[in-house]
């Protein structure tokens, strides 16, 4: 059966209502366009943010504590017995990952990039100023494979940690608060009271405030001495080629070593959760626009059905079935949907270009060094937006189209005669 | 060719309205039949039943030898498309399409002819009805008489065995009314089609072969028309 005939009839109807058709198409176009633009904006920012976070931090961190109390001797002895041990008080044992070297070797054998770290709080003192920092004891060669700290150094290199005695790299914010510059010698004080003179050999600017204002890096051995914890490692940090594998691998490692193992997703869960809320809000708005567009389509198709009842009766008397009458009006909605989708792609593209032109003052924080929006230019939002428009259009048209199909030609002809 | 057997159509009330009451007749191939009767006597209702646009409450309509009482909607649509042609009082052309395109709609819907053959047939029908010059005009640009001829051409598009017309001349002047009946005469006498036409016009009714007179939904007279009656 000639679909082109139904299409011709549908197009004939739309041509008669050119203005209303245009308004409906624009409604859909706006919905699709905003969807495309908003998606580029949101995903651009979120991808940038995640990239920043993932770039400077490891993908998986094994820590020296446990999520749950370890199996107790009683339950180990009688695994099937009716013995339950709860409320176990954590044992007062020296903190740190035991047999860290063996574990490092095991992880490396799995083909992972790993780095041992001793992380702890210290106070940096310069003159009368005290700044608390989270000090990471690292091995430069391995750290390089695990984080991009080195790339974010604005002064000095990681190798300085080896070539200079008691070398220290701090975030630019830390240096600023201390009032110290590269080359200055400052005092680091451990919680135990032990202090050590350290020389600032490098400055770090990651764009992430928490890092720039609160972190420092020194050689693992040096930090172990400062903290009085020789040979202790309390974090093993891992970097992966595929960040999507982080969470399952973290679970696997935790099951193996029992130590709490966090993927980057878990560490940043609050922020990722915020993204989910942010996305939900934005897409609700876009959804509302599409809903309005769908009402526009419903409206035009309803009007045409109302106006064209006589034509419906003619077509039925010629031998068109209910299904074909319904198809004519669904096609009208779909045509508006397709035109709207195409126009929406143009609107979306233009919106992205426009957003790309927007410049604003450096706002600092994660956005430091950027003076415009970060836009993700991807193809799929166009396709998804157009698909949504098409579905919305078809559904919106279906309601009046079904009404048209149910009309009784005899009633119409009687009414017209 | 076209047969009604005890056909009754009652609109469910309340109160129930009987449109067509126990109507029986058989019309042969090539017969030209007028349905007459006072206003509200059920002439249009009967035509809708014969044209399969409506279904009888009881009784049976047989079209081209086919008992339609057991058929589903799609089968009735098919019969209308292939074997029946409708002409209404008002021209009922689709305003978005030219005269030729209107005639092509049933042909395209049936899909038996390719584009060229369909256009050829459509143009031929318009020529037969003396409206060849209207082919590329829109209904709004045509006179009432021309529109009705285009509508007849469309009714004939798929070469139906039966043509049903409900007061086709009701909106036309005498000359145009005569011309429409000339066409119907030719359809029956030359093409051998069956034509059933509802009309109030006694002069025109006299040109048919047979007259069914309805009163209150019942056939009160079913008699041949003598040629001398005109
Ligand atoms: N839906 C309906 N509800 C109530 N009464 C109806 C309905 N449809 C038709 N009727 C009545 O049924 C009767 C038959 O109507 P029909 O149109 O068949 O008559 P008709 O002979 O064609 O009249 P006319 O010469 O005026 O065209 C009329 O009295 C009409 O008012
Ligand atoms: Mg009538």
A38 and A64, same domain (yes or no): no
The pLDDT tens digits for B37-76 are 999 999 999 999 999 999 999 999 999 888 998 899 899 9
Tell me which residue has tokens 């119907």: B184
Contacts of A113 (CB under 8 A, 6+ apart): A142, A145, A146, A238, A239, A240
Sign of CA dihedral A174, A179, A183, A185: negative
Choosing from B42, B47, B171 the residue with most ligand 1 atoms within 8 A of its CB, the one to mutate for a pocket test is: B42
A228 and A301, same domain (yes or no): no
Contacts of B51 (CB under 8 A, 6+ apart): A317, B80, B84, B86, B164
The long-range contacts involving B36-39, CB below 8 angstroms and separated by at least 24 positions, are B36/B198, B36/B199, B36/B200, B36/B202, B36/B205, B36/B211, B36/B212, B36/B213, B36/B214, B37/B213, B37/B214, B37/B215, B38/B215
* Mean pLDDT, residues A328-332 taken together: 92
C-alpha atoms less than 13 angstroms from C-alpha of B68 in its C-beta half-sphere? 31
Shortest distance between the Cα of A396 and any Cα of chain B, in A, equals 24
- The residue ranges of DSSP E strands in chain B, in sequence order, are 2-11, 17-27, 32-36, 58-63, 66-67, 84-87, 162-166, 194-198, 210-215, 218-224
> What pLDDT, on a 0 to 100 scale, did the predictor assign at position A167?
93
Residue A331 has pLDDT above 90, yes or no: yes
The pLDDT tens digits for A121-162 are 999 999 899 999 999 999 999 988 888 888 889 989 999 999
Instruction: Tell me the C-alpha distance between B205 and B194, whole Å.
Output: 15
Tell me which residue has tokens 């009085």: A228
* Mean pLDDT, residues B102-126 taken together: 93
Given an 8 Å threshold on Cβ–Cβ distance, is A318 in contact with B78?
no
Instruction: Tell me the C-alpha distance between A261 and A236, whole Å.
Output: 9
Please indicate, yes or no, if residue A262 is contained in any of the structural domains. Answer: no
A324 and A283, same domain (yes or no): yes
Pick the residue from chain B with its C-alpha nearest to A321: B77
Contacts of A323 (CB under 8 A, 6+ apart): A405
> What pLDDT, on a 0 to 100 scale, did the predictor assign at position A27?
87
Instruction: Tell me the C-alpha distance between A25 and A88, whole Å.
Output: 66
Of the residues A182, A215, A239, the one at which a domain ends:
A239
What is the distance in A from the centroid of ligand 1 to the CA of B42?
A: 6
A17 and A114, same domain (yes or no): no
The pLDDT tens digits for A30-84 are 888 988 998 898 888 888 887 777 777 788 999 888 877 666 666 667 767 666 6
A168 and A304, same domain (yes or no): no
* Mean pLDDT, residues A227-239 taken together: 90
Sign of CA dihedral B58, B59, B62, B63: negative
Which ligand 1 atom sits closest to the C-alpha of B48?
18
Q: Which ranges of A164-216 does DSSP label H, i.e. alpha helix?
A: 172-178, 209-212
Please state, as a whole number, how many other Cβ atoms lie within 10 Å of the Cβ of residue A35. 28
A27 and A156, same domain (yes or no): no
Residue B13 has pLDDT above 80, yes or no: no
B53, B32 in Cβ contact below 8 A? no
Residues in chain A within 8 Å Cβ distance of B44: 413-414, 417
Please indicate, yes or no, if residue A297 is contained in any of the structural domains. Answer: yes
Please indicate, yes or no, if residue A77 is contained in any of the structural domains. Answer: no
A136 and A205, same domain (yes or no): yes
| Pairing state between β A215-219 and B66-67 | unpaired
Task: Please report which confidence band the pLDDT of residue A92 belongs to, taking 50, 70 and 90 as the band edges.
Answer: low
Please indicate whether residue B137 or residue B173 has the higher confidence score (pLDDT).
B137
Please indicate, yes or no, if residue A253 is contained in any of the structural domains. Answer: no
Of the residues A239, A259, A287, the one at which a domain ends:
A239
Q: Report residues whose beta carbon is within 6 angstroms of any ligand 1 atom.
A: A 414; B 11, 17, 19, 37, 39-45
> What pLDDT, on a 0 to 100 scale, did the predictor assign at position B125?
92
Cis omega (within 30 of 0) on the bond before A119? no
Residue B212 has pLDDT above 90, yes or no: yes
Please indicate, yes or no, if residue A254 is contained in any of the structural domains. Answer: no
Q: Distances in Å between the alpha carbon of B118 and those of B92, B137, B190? A: 21, 18, 22
> What pLDDT, on a 0 to 100 scale, did the predictor assign at position A171?
94
A216, A170 in Cβ contact below 8 A? yes
Q: Which of B54, B94, B166 sits opposite A314 (nearest CB)?
A: B94
Instruction: Tell me the C-alpha distance between A107 and A101, whole Å.
Output: 10
Mean pLDDT of chain A: 86
Token digits for A113? 């990039």
* Mean pLDDT, residues B200-210 taken together: 89
A64 and A23, same domain (yes or no): no
Task: Please report which confidence band the pLDDT of residue A272 belongs to, taking 50, 70 and 90 as the band edges.
Answer: confident
A295 and A371, same domain (yes or no): yes
Given an 8 Å threshold on Cβ–Cβ distance, is A317 in contact with B86?
yes
Q: What is the DSSP string of A70-93?
A: PPPHHHHH-TTSS----SPPPP--
Instruction: Tell me the C-alpha distance between B80 and B156, whole Å.
Output: 12
Number of domains in chain A: 2
Burial class (CB in 10 A: 0-12, 13-18, 19+), B227: exposed
The protein residue with its alpha carbon nearest to ligand 1, atom 25, reads: B39
Contacts of B217 (CB under 8 A, 6+ apart): B9, B18, B19, B20, B21, B23, B41, B42, B45
Please indicate, yes or no, if residue A331 is contained in any of the structural domains. Answer: yes
Given an 8 Å threshold on Cβ–Cβ distance, is A5 in contact with B105?
yes
* Mean pLDDT, residues B17-27 taken together: 91
> What pLDDT, on a 0 to 100 scale, did the predictor assign at position A91?
62
Instruction: Tell me the C-alpha distance between B18 and B12, whole Å.
Output: 9
Helix, strand, coil: what percent of chain A each, to 5? 60, 15, 25
> What pLDDT, on a 0 to 100 scale, did the predictor assign at position A103?
87
> What pLDDT, on a 0 to 100 scale, did the predictor assign at position A85?
67
The region, left, alpha or beta by phi > 0 then psi within -120 to 50, assigned to residue A299 is: alpha
Shortest distance between the Cα of B185 and any Cα of chain A, in A, equals 22
A41 and A64, same domain (yes or no): no
A223, A118 in Cβ contact below 8 A? yes
Task: Please report which confidence band the pLDDT of residue B230 belongs to, taking 50, 70 and 90 as the band edges.
Answer: very low
Given an 8 Å threshold on Cβ–Cβ distance, is B44 in contact with A316?
no
Please indicate, yes or no, if residue A23 is contained in any of the structural domains. Answer: yes
A99 and A47, same domain (yes or no): no
What is the distance in A from the centroid of ligand 2 to the CA of A233?
A: 99
* Mean pLDDT, residues A310-317 taken together: 90
Instruction: Tell me the C-alpha distance between A182 and A202, whole Å.
Output: 6
| Pairing state between β A129-138 and A215-219 | parallel
Of the residues A218, A239, A260, the one at which a domain ends:
A239
Q: Does A82 touch chain B (CB under 8 A)?
A: no
A250, A261 in Cβ contact below 8 A? yes
Instruction: Tell me the C-alpha distance between A397 and A389, whole Å.
Output: 12
Instruction: Tell me the C-alpha distance between B45 and A15, whole Å.
Output: 35
A377 and A411, same domain (yes or no): yes
Question: Which of A274-278, A392-396, B88-92 is predicted least confidently?
Answer: B88-92
Tell me which residue has tokens 């608390």: A132
* Mean pLDDT, residues B80-87 taken together: 92
Q: Which helix (H) or strand (E) holds A131?
A: strand A129-138
Residues in chain A within 8 Å Cβ distance of B109: 1-2, 5, 318-320
Instruction: Tell me the C-alpha distance between B211 and B27, whole Å.
Output: 11
**Structural domain boundaries, residue A285:** 3-54+271-416
Please indicate, yes or no, if residue A257 is contained in any of the structural domains. Answer: no
The model's pTM = 0.75
């Amino acid at each position: 059966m000639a679909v082109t005939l139904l299409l011709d009839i549908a197009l004939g109807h739309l041509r008669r209502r050119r203005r209303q058709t245009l308004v409906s198409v624009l409604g859909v176009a706006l919905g699709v366009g905003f969807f495309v633009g908003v998606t580029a904006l949101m995903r651009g920012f979120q991808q940038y943010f995640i990239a920043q976070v993932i770039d400077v931090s490891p993908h998986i961190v094994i820590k020296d504590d446990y999520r749950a109390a370890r199996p107790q001797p009683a339950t180990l002895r009688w695994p099937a017995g009716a013995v339950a041990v709860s409320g176990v008080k954590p044992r007062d044992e020296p903190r740190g990952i035991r047999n860290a070297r063996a574990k490092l070797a095991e992880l490396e054998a799995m083909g992972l990039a790993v780095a041992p770290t001793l992380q702890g709080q210290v106070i940096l003192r310069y003159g009368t100023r005290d700044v608390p920092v989270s000090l990471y004891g690292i091995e430069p060669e391995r750290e390089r494979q695990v984080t991009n700290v080195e790339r974010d150094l604005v002064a000095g290199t990681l190798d300085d940690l080896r070539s200079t005695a008691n070398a220290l790299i701090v975030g630019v914010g830390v240096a600023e608060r201390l009032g110290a510059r590269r080359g200055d010698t400052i005092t680091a004080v451990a919680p135990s009271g032990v202090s050590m003179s350290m020389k600032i050999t490098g400055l770090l600017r990651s764009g992430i405030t928490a890092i720039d204002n609160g972190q420092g890096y020194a050689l693992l051995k040096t930090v172990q001495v400062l903290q009085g914890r020789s040979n202790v490692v309390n974090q093993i940090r891992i970097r992966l080629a595929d960040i999507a594998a982080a969470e399952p691998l973290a679970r696997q490692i935790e099951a193996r070593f029992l130590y709490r193992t966090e993927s980057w997703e878990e560490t940043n869960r609050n922020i990722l959760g915020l993204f989910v809320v942010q996305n939900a809000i934005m897409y609700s708005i876009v959804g509302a626009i599409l809903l309005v567009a769908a009402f526009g389509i419903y409206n035009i198709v309803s009007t045409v059905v109302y106006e064209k009842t006589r034509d419906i009766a003619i077509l039925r008397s010629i031998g068109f079935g209910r299904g074909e009458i319904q198809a004519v009006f669904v096609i009208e909605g779909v045509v508006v949907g397709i035109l709207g989708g195409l126009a929406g792609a143009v609107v979306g593209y233009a919106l992205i270009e426009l957003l790309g032109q927007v410049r604003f003052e450096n706002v600092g924080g994660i956005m430091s060094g950027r003076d415009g929006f970060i836009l993700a230019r991807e193809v799929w939002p166009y396709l998804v937006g157009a698909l949504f428009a098409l579905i919305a259009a078809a559904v919106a048209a279906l309601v009046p189209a079904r009404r048209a199909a149910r009309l009784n030609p005899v009633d119409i002809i009687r009414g017209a005669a | 060719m076209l047969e009604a057997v005890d056909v009754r159509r009652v609109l469910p009330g309340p109160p129930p309205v009987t449109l067509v009451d126990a109507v029986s007749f058989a019309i042969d191939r090539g017969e030209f039949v007028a349905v007459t009767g006072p206003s509200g006597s059920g002439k249009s209702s009967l035509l809708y039943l014969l044209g399969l646009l409506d279904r009888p409450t009881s009784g049976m309509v047989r079209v081209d030898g086919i008992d339609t009482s057991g058929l589903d909607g799609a089968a009735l649509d098919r019969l209308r498309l292939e074997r029946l042609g409708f002409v209404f009082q008002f021209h009922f052309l689709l305003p978005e399409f030219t005269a030729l395109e209107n005639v092509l709609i049933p042909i395209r819907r049936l899909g038996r002819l390719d584009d060229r053959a369909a256009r050829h047939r459509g143009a031929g029908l318009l020529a037969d009805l003396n409206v060849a010059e209207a082919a590329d005009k829109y209904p709004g640009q045509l006179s009432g008489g021309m529109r009705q001829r285009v509508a007849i051409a469309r009714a004939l598009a798929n070469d139906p065995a039966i043509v049903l017309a409900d007061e086709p001349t009701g909106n036309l002047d005498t000359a145009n009314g005569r011309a429409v009946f000339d066409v119907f005469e030719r359809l029956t006498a030359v093409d051998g089609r069956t034509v059933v036409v509802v009309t109030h016009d006694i002069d025109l009714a006299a040109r048919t072969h047979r007259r069914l007179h309805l009163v209150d939904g019942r056939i009160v007279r079913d008699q041949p028309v003598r040629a001398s009656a005109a």
